[in-house]
Structure 1
């Protein structure tokens, strides 16, 4: 399988900065965090995104590979479905079926056991240009971000010039009467999202806004009490939440590629992308302490399989639902 040019796969470095304690670079073996070696889980991907830990596997979208896939504990990647209109955010319906955001046609598709990806509902005008990431709560509310088109001479300028967009809310509680509405407007490129362990708070990464924004979730799935959860020194993409309420943040446009952040903006630790951008991250593994790092070059090369998934061991596990799976 292809590797990023100029990288050996064994003699790479990871830079970890914790609090104000400075930085260190470790070049023994592959990667090391807290004295434990990390590993390359999969390469030869194009743009891995939208990861979710489920039933002992990492389920993710390979956006420009046009597929939803599963990464097993032994490093085998299996295609679950083909999604020609670029797959992104993932989640599960109350009945246990996997759903995926189809970006370009602004639809949510349900993944069948036969590899099908049939349209379940259209987001329509509730999204600006393209749909993007998604999170689904335990009751069946799904929140979907937008990826609006913009102008600029560079990829960085196009992100920063992105117009304001909305977060859509899809009510999947009654699958015979699915409803879609706009839950929040005026977000500066709403991207990765998480829901707090008690189910009462939605946190959204505003990529162009360089911040994480929180909302209260009311009993009807609506969003209220908008507030800044953390201002960031980077443009955030995918995010995941640990049991202490801190958030791991991925960024494809800046370095370090991954930050561990507390509410208010304190950076606890960072992980360098070693030349690649961080697009998403997820806490999983048997004990929830394996941090999966989904990486690819930026700007993205849609026809080049230079993306990869690495994993590192961390101290604080991710939140888990009653069935042991992540959000």
Structure 2
């Protein structure tokens, strides 16, 4: 484990709210400020601009293989597409599949996997398992997996063969084989996190996963089966992480203070952090 991470953290951006969904694309990191309803592009010097505004919480994004940004509007149960002229267009209506939409990842074939929790946290409903819906490049959609206690961050391996899902309530990472038609196999235990709740995740070139954890205030690199390979400790909750930079050896972390549900994240506590790692990123996001 020693030597996996150079532990020095650099702060790229401060003054955010609940910041999530870091995605590296063409020399910039894209993050979502759920509190402000903004998708923000950040360069390596901390320069930034708002590229889209969507009043939704959650508010997660993914890049397609042809370079288009997709935004999951949970509040309206729809998948949006940011077109070249800067306008947002409807790509898929997800209302018929339920509500509670959370994260999204797009594989190398252009298939989008979007997940949702199975209950309304805001009303204090009892927890119910969530599911995953496949949205094809033409906008057609169908449910492809269920039975995940609380589906959260997702990642696809470099060869497009495996979808890995963070199950926050199940305190585990779950793996699904991706079939040629985009459907998924039954889920299998990828790693038991022994009581730690994972949030956003990413994959590296050795097939290991980095997961962020809010209550644990850290990011953890883990091998399939559960061996911990490295950690990055924070002074606040780690909501999500992504590997990027020119050589994909920078671990970007979306972090914020977390007072505990249902108290909202304090405005201004959200940060985008960066640290160097030895193994580059692979797969998606």
Q: TM-score, normalised by structure 1?
A: 0.80
Aligned twin of 2:253: 293
In the superposition, relative to structure 1, how do residues 122 and 265 fare at CA in structure 2: closer, same or farther (>3 Å)? same
In the superposition, relative to structure 1, how do residues 294 and 162 fare at CA in structure 2: closer, same or farther (>3 Å)? same
Please say if residues 129 and 146 of structure 2, whose CA atoms lie closer than 8 Å, have aligned partners that are also in contact.
yes
Secondary structure of the structure 2 residue equivalent to 1:99 = strand
Distance across 2 between alignment mates of 1:115 and 1:86 = 21
Distance across 2 between alignment mates of 1:190 and 1:107 = 18
* 1:168 equivalent in alignment to 2:133: yes
Which of 62, 87, 106 in structure 1 is aligned with 2:77? 106
Distance across 1 between alignment mates of 2:78 and 2:46 = 30
Gaps of 5+ in 2: none
Please say if residues 101 and 117 of structure 2, whose CA atoms lie closer than 8 Å, have aligned partners that are also in contact.
yes
Distance across 2 between alignment mates of 1:102 and 1:303 = 22
Larger Rg: 1
Q: Between Structure 1 and Structure 2, how many residues are aligned?
A: 280
Please say if residues 9 and 275 of structure 2, whose CA atoms lie closer than 8 Å, have aligned partners that are also in contact.
yes
Aligned twin of 1:5: none
Distance across 1 between alignment mates of 2:55 and 2:86 = 13
**CA shift for structure 1 position 114:** 4.7
In the superposition, relative to structure 1, how do residues 92 and 256 fare at CA in structure 2: closer, same or farther (>3 Å)? closer
Aligned twin of 2:45: 74
Q: TM-score, normalised by structure 2?
A: 0.91
Choose between structure 1 and 2 for higher RCO, CA contacts under 8 A separated by at least 6 residues: 2
Distance across 2 between alignment mates of 1:220 and 1:152 = 36
Aligned counterparts, 1:157-196, within 5 A: 162-172=127-137, 175=138, 178-196=139-157
Aligned twin of 1:284: 244
Gaps of 5+ in 1: 1-17, 22-32, 321-325
Distance across 2 between alignment mates of 1:78 and 1:102 = 20
Please say if residues 30 and 42 of structure 2, whose CA atoms lie closer than 8 Å, have aligned partners that are also in contact.
yes
Please say if residues 169 and 181 of structure 1, whose CA atoms lie closer than 8 Å, have aligned partners that are also in contact.
yes
After superposition, the CA RMSD in angstroms is 2.3
Distance across 1 between alignment mates of 2:48 and 2:253 = 15
* 1:125 equivalent in alignment to 2:96: yes
**CA shift for structure 1 position 302:** 5.0
Aligned twin of 2:282: 319
Distance across 2 between alignment mates of 1:199 and 1:283 = 17
Distance across 2 between alignment mates of 1:84 and 1:256 = 27
